[in-house]
Amino acid sequence: MRLHRNLVFAVIDGLHLIFNEGEYADKVVQKLLKRDSRWGSRDRGFIAETTYDIVRWKRLYAEIAEIKEPFDRPKLFRMFSVWAVLRGIPIPDWNQFEPTPARRIKGRFDALSKERKFRESVPDWLDELGVASLGEKVWTKELAALNEQADVILRVNTLKTTTPQLKQFLTGEGVATQTIPGYPHALKLVERGNVFVTQAFKDGLFEVQDASSQLVAPYLEVSPGMRVVDACAGAGGKSLHLAALMENKGQVIALDIYSGKLKELKRRARRNGAHNIETRVIDSSKVIKKLHGSADRVLIDAPCTGLGILRRNPDAKWKMEPGFLEKITRTQQELLADYSQMVKTGGKMVYATCSILPQENRQQVQEFLASERGSEFTLLREQQIYAHKSGFDGFYMAELERK
């Protein structure tokens, strides 16, 4: 593999924005990819994957390169050299690259790999939290799985097509996919690629959604004609899925505190041909009160640490503050207490997170059940999905019924 100057410079610019300016990796990569319209899919793939790789392995590579933050450009080039040497890619003789001690890099890699916090590249506090929460054995396996590159998974929009039909359409557009046993509406890309440019996407035949995330909407056991509230709908990944499961019949009320996200949801709903989704911004407690006791189903897809989706969001490891868990668990408990009141008697509620920590999951549900409001509910079932067991994102979901 030969390194191209424009592409390497784009990666270095991206790393500067992520590490030094606090920007989000996904937004930075999106911006970088717009820089040169002549770049083909390989060039784009190189920029996206290399940037994510170096973000993922920041601590390990910085230790190997013997550099400390803040990372100026010469330091970022040293990190890049570590990335290249470990992949056996020859370093070009550009003057940005200092003479690279390949043997030293490999030696330091071998030595540092003996310690999990370096090998898996996590801050000390997160490694300690993981061990305390999951135990050494599970945390070690889970962390390794969360550092792998995620597959690209599509969810078939059953309002418009079927799994075999979509597979065929995509093959026609040169995109090879595989079905995944146990996930009837999921297709996995055989090779990474930009699926957003396909006609099938523009026609609303699928959404990109991880396989674990595709298990959440079915957990609500909805049927056509129901009134379903998606209380933390965001840009609507689950709302769209719920609308499809309800065959566009009944009502999905999608709530969020951010109007911008709901606007994006509406755009996606139009593309999906989902006509039964209504969005409401939570701008006062009245929005929730109005819905008290009225919903057949309520989904609380709660804001969380996102530790189950590190494969997709590796920069969360570096952006998260140690005190965030305490803050977010308090919010989750408040959301359970408030939003559970929208469920009608005999109705059901699903609480879900993309986290692997029991503090955000099982323990939250137990705490809610032990509370006054929670005493009206019974736990029907719960599922903790680990990345190292499923091969997909880490997720949790619990189904509760209002007595």
What does the binding site for ligand SAM look like in residue numbers (CB under 6 A)? Answer: 231-238, 255-258, 261, 282, 301, 303, 335
The three-point CA angle 297-244-400 to 5° equals 20
**Nearest distance from residue 217's CB to ligand SAM, in Å?**
9
The smaller minimum CB distance to ligand SAM, of residues 35 and 261, is found at 261
- Identity at 290, one-letter amino acid code: K
Name 88's Cβ contacts closer than 8 Å, sequence gap at least 6. none
Q: In the chain, how long is the greatest CA-to-CA distance?
A: 71
Residue 74, Cβ neighbours under 10 Å: how many?
11
Q: Which is nearer to ligand SAM, 176 or 257 (CB)?
A: 257
Give the C-alpha distances (Å, rounded to integers) separating 330 from 325, 333, 337, 364. Answer: 9, 5, 11, 9
Nearer to ligand SAM, 4 or 327 (CB): 327
Binding residues for S-adenosyl-L-methionine: 256, 283, 301
Q: How far apart are the first and last CA of the chain?
A: 63
- Closest contact distance (angstroms) between CB of 334 and ligand SAM is 7
CB 69 to ligand SAM: min, Å: 29
CB of 261 to ligand SAM, least distance (A): 5
CB of 121 to ligand SAM, least distance (A): 24
Question: Closest separation between CB of residue 21 and ligand SAM, Å?
Answer: 23
Beta strands in 133-215, from DSSP E residues, in sequence order = 153-156, 177-180, 183-189, 206-208
For CA atoms 379, 303, 388, 189, the dihedral sign is positive
Nearest residue to 183 via CA among 395, 399, 401 = 395
Closest CA to 210 of 159, 154, 264, 268: 154
**Residue 268 and residue 242 in contact, taking contact as beta carbons nearer than 8 Å:** no
CA geometry: angle at 134 spanning 64 and 305, to 5°? 75
Is there a catalytic annotation at residue 354?
Answer: yes
Rounded CA-CA distance 49/379 in Å is 41
Residue number with CB closer to ligand SAM (190 or 257): 257
Cα separation, 326 vs 345, in Å, equals 32
Count of beta carbons in the 10 Å neighbourhood of residue 268: 18
Whichever of 80 and 219 has its CB closer to ligand SAM, that residue is 219
CA distance 139 to 127: 8
CB of 363 to ligand SAM, least distance (A): 18
Nearer to ligand SAM, 232 or 325 (CB): 232
* Cβ pair 193, 261 in contact under 8 A: no
229, 235, 288, 354: the catalytic one is 354
Cis peptide before 70, with omega less than 30 degrees from 0? yes
| Residues in the chain, overall count | 403
Name the residue nearer to ligand SAM (CB basis): 71 or 183: 183
> Which residues have a catalytic role annotated?
354
